[in-house]
Structure 1
Amino acid sequence: MSQTEFNDPLWRQGISGAQMLFVAFGALVLMPLITGMDPNVALFTAGIGTLLFQLVTKRQVPVFLASSFAFIAPILAAKGEFGLPAVMGGVIAAGLVYVLLSALVKLRGPSFIDRLLPPVVIAPVIISIGLALSPVAVNMAMGKAGDGSVELVPYSTAMMISMPALITTLLVAVLGRGIFRLVPILSGIAVGCAIAAVLGVIDTSAVDQAAWLAVPNFVTPELHWGAILYMVPVALAPAIEHIGGVVAIGNVTGKNFVKKPGLHRTLLGDGLATSAAGLFGGPPNTTYAEVTGAVMLTKSYNPKIMTWAAVFAIALAFIGKFGVALQSIPVPVMGGILCLLFGSIAVVGLNTLIRHQVDLSEARNLIIVSVTLVFGIGGMVIGGKEFALSGISLCAISALLLNLVLPGGAGWRKRDAEEA
C-alpha cells in the first residue's frame, strides 16, 4: 500500500467521506425508525461512535460504525416493558460487554473468543435474531404496526407499496453495478416513498412545520436490571460479527488489524461507541459491511475518510427537517425492505454453520442449536415479573451455558482436523 493513498487532498477526502455515509445511510436510519428512536440521534451517535473508535484504534482501521440490527428484537421487547430510557441503560451495559471481551482478548489472546463463543453457539443466536423478527417485517409490509395490533395503512395499498420496495432492493442488490450496488436499501426506500407519495400515503405536514436547525431528541438513560438483561446477552453475537468485520477490512486493505492496532483495541472502540450511543439515546453501534464493500470498490483505504463521514453524520443530525422527513417514511416501505434484511440476518447464521463445517449429526452440536433456536424463535420466558429472561437474550445465554456444560467442546474442530 503506497503512502500516497494517505495524502489525499482534503476535498477528495471529504467527497469520499460523504460517499461512505451515503452507502451506510439506508441501514443507519432504518434501524432507529423500526425501534421508534430519533434517526437524527442515530446519525449523531454513529458519528460520535466512529470518532471514538478511531481514537482508540489510533485511526488505523478504515471502518464506519452505525446502528446495529442485531439489537432490534431486545430493544422492541425492553422498550415495551421498561421504556426507552431503560433501554438506553441496557445499551450502555451492552457496550461494556465489548469492553470486557476486549480485556479478555488482551490478557489471553484472540483465540480465547473462539473457545468461549464458537460457531455452534453464535450461529443459532444469529439465526434466531433474524427469524424472531420476521413477523415484524411481514406485519409492516401489510400495513400494520410491528406487533400486528393496528392497521396503519389499508392492506391493498400497503402491498402496492411494500412489494415494489422489496423488489427494487432485490434487483439493485443483484443487478446493480459499482457504487450503486452498495445502496439497495436506499434505492428501495426511494422507490417505495415515490409510490407512497403517488398513492397519497405520505404526510409531509410535519416536515413543513419542522425547523431547519434543531437539537436531536436525546434521551437520558436509566439503569434497570430487566432492560439490561434483555440487552447484554445479545451483545455476544455482534461481538463475533465485529471480529469478522475487522478481518474483512484487513483483507481488503492488505493489513492485519487483528495484530495492529489489535483486536482488543477494535473491540474496545466498538464497545465505547455503543456505550456512548446509549448515553445520548441512540441505537448500539457496529461496523458496517456495506462501507467495507465501498472501501474495496473505491480503494479508499485512508482512515481519515471515515473521519469525514462521521463529521457529516453529526452535521446532518442537527437538520430538523431531515429527521422529520425520515420519520415520515411509510410503514409498508420499511416492511418490504425488512422482509429481505431480517431474512439476511438469519442467512448469516446459516452461513456461519456451513462455513465452519459444524457437524450437526453430533448430539452435542444438535442439542445446542436446537434448544437455542426454539428458545429464541418461540419466545421462551424463564423467571417472574421482577427478574425474567426471554427471547433472544435467553437463547444467547442458553447457547453459552450449553457449550460450557456439555462435554466435547472441541468436537467440531476435531472433525475438521481429521478430515484435513
Structure 2
Amino acid sequence: MTQVNDLTPGRKAIVGVQYLFVAFGATVLVPLLVGLDPSTALFSAGIGTLIFHLVTKGKVPIFLGSSFAFIAPIKSATELYGLSGALFGILGVALVYILMSLLIRSFGIKFITRLFPPVVIGPIIMLIGLSLSSAAVGMAASNWVLAIIALSVAIAVTLYARGILKLIPIFCGIIAGYLADLIFFDVDLAPIAAAEWFSLPQLILPERLMWEPILFMIPVAIAPVIEHIGDVYVVNSVAHRNFVQDPGLHRTMLGDGLACLFASLIGAPPVTTYSEVTGAMSLTKVTDPVVLRIAAITGIVFSMVGKVSALLKSIDPAVLGGIMLLLFGTIAGAGINNLLHSKVNLGSSRNVVIISVTLTTGIGGAVLQMGNLTLAGIGLSAIVAVLLNLILPQPKEEA
C-alpha cells in the first residue's frame, strides 16, 4: 500500500483534526460515564500522546485515548475509595506498563504469551463489555426514544457507512441523539451559554497516598497491555514498518505507561492505543507521526474551550445508554472473536474451566477481601484466569 505522507503543513493539520474526531466520541464517552469532566480526558489524551511520541522518538504513528477497560474498575474503586482515590489508583496501571516494558526489554515478549494466552485474554475482554451491560440498560431506560435513535444511527453507520464516516459510529449516534433531544424534548442550554470560552480542564489532584486503590487497579491492566501489543503490530502492517524492532516494543509500552502515570496525577481516565485511529490511517494512507501529534495538540486546545465541555455535559444519559448498548456488546463480541481467531480449543476441559470460572467470578460480582485490600470485578477475574492458566496441567496434544 502506498503511503501518503508528503503533505503540505495545511493538509497535515486537516488530517490531524480528522484523526482527533475519529477518536473524539470514544474519548469523551469514558469520562461522561464515570463522572469526570470530558475536557480533562481530552487534555490527558493530548498530553499522553505527546509523551508517547517523545518516548518512542517520534517514530510511531499512534494516538492515545480514554480506555473503556477501566470504566467498571473506576466505578467500583470509586465506591470503595472515593473518586480521587480511584483515579490515583491508575498509578498501578502505569506501574504495570512500566514493568512490562522492562521485562520485554530484558526477555522479549514470549513470556507475555505464556502468562496471557488467548484463553486468558478472551474472557477478560468479554467481561469488560458484559460487566457494564446493566449500566447501559439502566441509562437507556431513562428515555428509550432517545436511546433507540442514538443506537439505530450508530448501527446504521457501522453497517452501511463508507470511508472515515464508518469509523465514527459513536460520534454519529451521539449527534443524532442530541439533535433528537433538542427537537422533541427539553435540553437545558443555559449552562452552555454561561460557560466561558476559555476554561482550564478540571483536574482532580491526589488528596493523599493510598496503596489500596493502586493494588486494586493493577490486575485490571492485563487486558489493555495485551491490547497495546496487538495495536502496535497492526500499526506495523498499516505503516509498513517494524516498530516492534525500532524504536522497540519496550519503548511503546513505556510511553503508554508514562501517559497513564500523567493521567493518574491529574485525575483523568487511563489512556491506551486507539484502534479507530489506526483504521483511519489505513483509509487515508497517512501514517506520518507528525499528523498524530497535530491531533494531540488539537485535543489539548479543545480541552480548554469551556463551551465544549458544557455542551458534552448536556448530553442526555439516555443517549449515552443507547450507544453503550452497542458498544459494550461489541467489546464482549471482540472477546469471543479473540478466542475464535486464536483457535482456542473450546472442546478442551482445561480451557472450558478457565473461561467459565473467569466469567462467573466477574459477572457474579465475586469479591476477595484481605484486610484493607479489596479485589473484585475484572481485576479479580484477571488474576483468577492467569492463575488457572499457570496451575492447570495442559494435555500434551494441546501444548
TM-score range, shorter chain: over 0.9
Matches of 2:13 and 2:336, distance apart in 1 = 38
Q: Structure 1 unaligned runs (5+)?
A: 144-157, 415-420
1:191 is the counterpart of 2:172: no
Cα deviation 1:164-213 (Å, max 9, x = unaligned): 10010000011001111111111100110011112333211111111111
1:359 is the counterpart of 2:331: no
Q: 1:168 aligns with which of 123, 144, 153?
A: 153
Q: 1:229 aligns with which of 215, 220, 223?
A: 215
Q: Which residue does 1:280 correspond to in 2? A: 266
Verify the 8 A CA contact 1:65 1:285 in the aligned structure 2. Answer: yes
Q: Which residue does 2:101 correspond to in 1? A: 102
1:388 is the counterpart of 2:360: no
1:65 is the counterpart of 2:71: no
Displacement of 1:223? 3.2
**Secondary structure in 1 aligned to 2:89?**
helix
Q: Which residue does 2:47 correspond to in 1? A: 48
Displacement of 1:340? 0.6
Matches of 1:215 and 1:98, distance apart in 2 = 29
Q: Which residue does 1:397 correspond to in 2? A: 383
Q: Which residue does 2:114 correspond to in 1? A: 115
**Secondary structure in 1 aligned to 2:323?**
helix
Matches of 1:376 and 1:332, distance apart in 2 = 26
Which one is further off, 383-392 or 166-175?
383-392
Q: Which residue does 2:27 correspond to in 1? A: 28
Displacement of 1:9? 2.0
Displacement of 1:6? 4.4
Displacement of 1:410? 7.9
Verify the 8 A CA contact 1:403 1:409 in the aligned structure 2. Answer: no
Matches of 1:50 and 1:80, distance apart in 2 = 30
Displacement of 1:252? 0.9
Which one is further off, 196-205 or 315-324?
196-205
Query: What pairs up with 1:127-138 in 2 under 5 angstroms?
Result: 127-138=126-137
One-letter code of the match for 1:251? Answer: S
Cα deviation 1:118-154 (Å, max 9, x = unaligned): 11111111111110110011111111xxxxxxxxxxx
CA RMSD of aligned residues (A): 1.5
Verify the 8 A CA contact 2:216 2:373 in the aligned structure 1. Answer: no
Verify the 8 A CA contact 1:90 1:229 in the aligned structure 2. Answer: yes
One-letter code of the match for 1:296? Answer: S
Matches of 2:139 and 2:397, distance apart in 1 = 42
Displacement of 1:384? 5.3
Matches of 1:135 and 1:363, distance apart in 2 = 30
**Secondary structure in 2 aligned to 1:232?**
helix
Q: 1:249 aligns with which of 212, 231, 235?
A: 235
Verify the 8 A CA contact 2:126 2:333 in the aligned structure 1. Answer: yes
TM-score after normalising by structure 1: 0.92
One-letter code of the match for 2:388? Answer: L
Matches of 2:282 and 2:123, distance apart in 1 = 29
Q: 1:349 aligns with which of 287, 311, 335?
A: 335
Verify the 8 A CA contact 1:129 1:376 in the aligned structure 2. Answer: no
Displacement of 1:80? 2.1
Cα deviation 1:93-120 (Å, max 9, x = unaligned): 2011011011111110122211111111
Displacement of 1:89? 1.5
Q: Which residue does 1:297 correspond to in 2? A: 283
Verify the 8 A CA contact 1:168 1:187 in the aligned structure 2. Answer: yes
Displacement of 1:230? 2.8
Q: Which residue does 1:155 correspond to in 2? A: none
Verify the 8 A CA contact 1:120 1:365 in the aligned structure 2. Answer: yes
Matches of 2:259 and 2:60, distance apart in 1 = 15
**Secondary structure in 2 aligned to 1:83?**
helix
One-letter code of the match for 1:206? Answer: P
Q: Percent identity?
A: 48
Q: 2:292 aligns with which of 306, 313, 335?
A: 306
Displacement of 1:376? 0.7
Q: Which residue does 1:239 correspond to in 2? A: 225
Q: Which residue does 1:151 correspond to in 2? A: none
**Secondary structure in 2 aligned to 1:286?**
strand
Displacement of 1:229? 3.0
Cα deviation 1:198-247 (Å, max 9, x = unaligned): 23332111111111111111011243233223311110001101111111
1:327 is the counterpart of 2:313: yes
One-letter code of the match for 1:350? Answer: I
Matches of 2:371 and 2:396, distance apart in 1 = 38
CA, structure 1 residues 411+287, in 2 after alignment: closer, same or farther (shift >3 Å)? Answer: farther
How many residue pairs get aligned? The number is: 398
One-letter code of the match for 1:12? Answer: R
CA, structure 1 residues 410+339, in 2 after alignment: closer, same or farther (shift >3 Å)? Answer: farther
Q: 2:358 aligns with which of 372, 384, 407?
A: 372
Cα deviation 1:250-288 (Å, max 9, x = unaligned): 111111221221111111111111111111111000111
